[in-house]
Structure 1
Amino acid sequence: MRKLLLTLLVLILLGCGTVFALPSLLDRRMNSVEFPAPYPASEPAIQLHDSLFVADLHDDVLLWERDLLKRYDFGHSDLPRMLEGRVALQVFSTVTKTPRGINYERNSGETDNITLLAMAQRWPRATWDSLLQRALYQAEKLEQASAASDGRLTLIRNRADLATFIDTWRQDPRRTAAVLATEGLHPIEGQLANIDRLYEAGFRITGLTHFFDNEVGGSAHGLEKGGLTPLGRQVIKRLEEKLMVIDLAHASRPLIDDVLAMATRPVLVSHTGVEGTCPGTRNLSDNHLRAIAATGGVVGIGYWETAVCATSVEAIVKAIRYTANLVGVQHVALGSDFNGTVHTPFDVTGLPQLTEGLLKAGFSRDDIAAIMGGNVQRLLLASLPQR
């Protein structure tokens, strides 16, 4: 019956040509910037920025039906703009489900916005009612973009891939490494074996929850906001066995505690704020910042208002400074959440303004190199599978 209803729904959609324009309209409206490009920066900042290995821990561009290799005048990023912004490594996350009426405080997992978006964007039929297939389809999109990029976009699966890429990048920085991640583990559809399928498809970083509680554990935005489930404990063990990096973004506080009690490897938080500069449901407490740093992990500071309490470079830098002072520069990174339906100060070409902001805040050149990407490079070289 459910498949019949979905088929009838898509026939209705096919009769309404305007529905296929809706995703692009939503993309333009929901992935916005405070100021349009170009983004001026001082010459010292530009010179320093151009020398950096810049890495960002979270971009949701695969959700949208844009050609990653083509430059657009909307949204936050694409490969041409990443290259202009000197992004050497980008973590691409796959969004597979979000609840209707999505909010930061309390969401059920009973509804889903992405089904209609997948249909309207003409994703394969298998993605309409399978979260796993949605993740695999977005992984395939990234792999196809890499194959068609003439070497400018390199998919990273292991330490050897990353080490080779870094050597090549040093000779010619006009290229970007891509690492694949999940926005929550509901795509495993309650089956531990599906972690292996995600691994085989190239996923190397795994968020546990998104905006609702799932079979693995509680979300900061869910109804119960609990810790790890029995399945979740098995999942953590399997992820560590496969050397997949655990991402605690969107995790409830009990879930963070449970994972940290089990973890034997560094964990990261791909995109977040911190309570020390911006109180909020999903922003990290000082205790959690210390505990994540104690694993050897890194925290990606976000660019949007709910993360840093303003839409400005100054607010991002303030959160970075607070975190660095609390746990050390070596545990701070960038976590833009570009293309994740957020409003940011700039698109990816504006990253030199962030470098300039860090200079003005008194960070040394070495500290800036670490924050802007060196810490992520170090973590992945130590944590990814060897080959």
Structure 2
Amino acid sequence: MIVVDGHCDVLWRLWEDPERSFSDGTLQAGAERLAAGNVRAQVFALFVPPQVPRGQRLKAALAMVDRWHGEVVENAGFRPLLWRDDVPRVTGGDRPWALLALEGAEALEGELVHLRVLYHLGLRMVGLTWNEANEAADGCGEARGGGLTRFGRSLVEEINRLSLLLDVAHLSERGFWEAAEHYDGPLVASHANCRAVHDHPRNLTDDQLRAIAESGGVVGLTFVPAFLTGGEATRDDVRRHLEHAESVAGEDHVAFGSDFDGIDRVVAGLEHAACYAEWADYLLRYYPASSVEKWLAGNWLRVLAARLPARPMTNL
């Protein structure tokens, strides 16, 4: 079975250590491991760490975009997933696909023009925050729990205009609901789990799960032990979150967003992207193939086909 993974931090790792390479075998979601796991489409996040000072954040994001184009697309042969009519091609052919996402609006430094520049460079998914507050909204780690700022509302409007996906992972609860109110497409949580199973601020409440489903969106369940159990975690723990998400949101709104290369502690049996092959076999022990196919790829593909922008005539 093919896989579409909603979140990895490969680009941050490459930016953090310029000596590393996408193809050197050291990354959890490097080229060889993605191929071994049959990952046909991978979402690559642009994560600018909070210690990067204002005035340097866009520069850091652009350096990550440069590594994406140079190593993932040009050297490793991934196709950029840019347009709605690209989506049906993900399931065939001999080359995998790569989608570029922004994990937090810090890199925009309060300027919508920076979003448009990143769009022209291939950006197709936007998360408003990481854990902290920024110019757009409060993250889930901000104690005051505020919602969207004036800039944040303008940012969502521009996301709508460009037909980008809005990623609600990391948002405060108030920010989640305000973003949902202003966004006109299917909501996605690229990498998050269920608060009813494990009470963690990065996990989603049942009301949030239902809202994502009602929008036609998808929740990318993640392999972060801290969000699964708070301690050591196994594949059975991921399955507990899967079963809860499916019972609340429905099987058409559940998928996976591993957070590979954003984590140091790993789930036993899901240590890197090559493990997706065994993960598929594991899921087939418990669920019908039609459901497993949706969770591994089909639900992400449906949302991408519904939301990615139409190819401009000038790009034919």
TM, length-normalised to structure 1: 0.75
SS at match of 2:209: helix
Deviation per CA, 1:41-69: give whole Å up to 9, x if none. Answer: xxxxxxxxxxx220110000111232113
Q: Tell me what 1:104 maps to.
A: none
Say if 1:186 and 1:209, in contact at 8 Å, map to a contact too.
yes
Residue 296 of structure 2 is matched in structure 1 by: 372
**CA distance in structure 2 between the aligned counterparts of 1:352 and 1:316, rounded to whole angstroms:** 16
1:219 aligns with 2:139: yes
How far did residue 244 of structure 1 move?
0.8
* Alpha-carbon separation, structure 2, partners of 1:77 and 1:191: 31
User: Partner residue of 2:307?
Assistant: 383
Answering whether residue 59 of structure 2 is matched by residue 133 of structure 1, we say yes
Provide the residue aligned with 2:275 in structure 1. 350
User: Which of 338, 343, 349 in structure 1 is aligned with 2:260?
Assistant: 338
What letter corresponds to residue 241 of structure 2 in structure 1? Answer: A
Identical aligned pairs, as a percentage?
Answer: 28
Would you say 1:329 and 2:251 are equivalent positions?
A: yes
Where 1:226 maps in the other structure, the secondary structure is: coil
Stretches of 4+ aligned residues off by more than 6 angstroms: none
In 2: Cα distance, 1:82 partner to 1:357 partner: 18
Question: Structure 1 residue 150: deviation in Å?
Answer: 6.1
CA contact 2:22–2:72 (8 Å) conserved in 1: no
C-alpha distance after superposition, 1:247-287 (max 9, x if no partner)? 01100000001011122210100001111211111210000
State whether residues 55 and 109 of structure 2, in contact with CA within 8 Å, keep that contact through their aligned partners in structure 1: no
- Given that 2:41 and 2:99 are in contact with CA atoms closer than 8 Å, whether structure 1 keeps it comes out as yes
Provide the TM-score with structure 2 as the length reference. Answer: 0.91
In structure 2, the partner of 1:76 is: 28
One-letter code of the match for 2:281? E
Change in Cα spacing, 1:251 to 1:147, as seen in structure 2 (3 Å) is: closer
1:161 partnered with 2:86: yes
Residues in 2 aligned to 1:198 and 1:148: alpha-carbon distance in whole angstroms:
18
Q: Could you tell me whether the CA contact under 8 Å between 1:53 and 1:374 is conserved in 2? A: no
CA distance in structure 2 between the aligned counterparts of 1:250 and 1:357, rounded to whole angstroms: 29
Task: For 1:299 and 1:354, locate their aligned partners in 2 and report how far apart those are by CA, in whole Å.
Answer: 18
Among 150, 162, 179, the residue aligned to 2:99: 179
- Paired with 1:191 and 1:76, the residues of 2 have a C-alpha distance of 33
Aligned mate of 2:234, from 312, 329, 337: 312
CA contact (8 A) 1:303 1:335 kept: yes
Q: Does the CA contact (< 8 Å) of 2:136 and 2:149 recur in 1?
A: yes
Secondary structure of the residue aligned to 1:181 is strand
Taking the aligned partners of 1:147 and 1:306, their CA distance within structure 2 comes to 32
Distance 1:302 1:377 in 2: 18
**CA drift at 1:146:** 3.9
> Is the contact between residue 273 and residue 308 of structure 1 (CA under 8 Å) also seen in structure 2?
yes
> What SS is found at the alignment partner of 1:386?
coil
Contact 2:165 2:188 in 1 (8 A): yes
How do residues 249-268 of structure 1 correspond to structure 2 at under 5 angstroms? 249-268=169-188
Aligned equivalent of 1:67:
21
Aligned equivalents of 1:261 and 1:298: distance in 2? 17
1:91 to 43, 56, 77: 43
Q: Deviations over 1:329-358 (max 9, x none)?
A: 110010111111341221111112322332
Kept in 2, the 8 Å contact 1:212–1:223? The answer is: no
Equivalents in 2 of 1:219, 1:266: separation in Å?
20
Counterpart for residue 215 of structure 2: 295
Choose 1 or 2 for highest CA Rg.
1
CA drift of 1:147 comes to 4.3
- Which residue does the alignment assign to 1:231? 151
Q: Per-residue deviation at 1:129?
A: 4.5
- In structure 2, what is the equivalent of residue 277 of structure 1? 197
Whole-Å separation in 2 of the counterparts to 1:341 and 1:303: 9
The aligned amino acid for 2:24 is K
How far apart are the structure 1 equivalents of 2:292 and 2:107? 36
Aligned-residue RMSD, C-alpha = 1.6
- The runs of 5 or more residues in structure 2 that have no matched partner are 15-19, 312-316
When structure 1 is superposed on structure 2, of 234-243 and 340-349 the one drifting more is 340-349
Which range moves more in the overlay, 306-315 or 284-293?
306-315
One-letter amino acid matched to 1:359: L
Judge conservation of contact 1:317–1:357 (CA < 8 Å) in 2. no
Bigger mean CA offset, 341-350 vs 208-217: 341-350
Task: Report the equivalent of 1:144.
Answer: 70
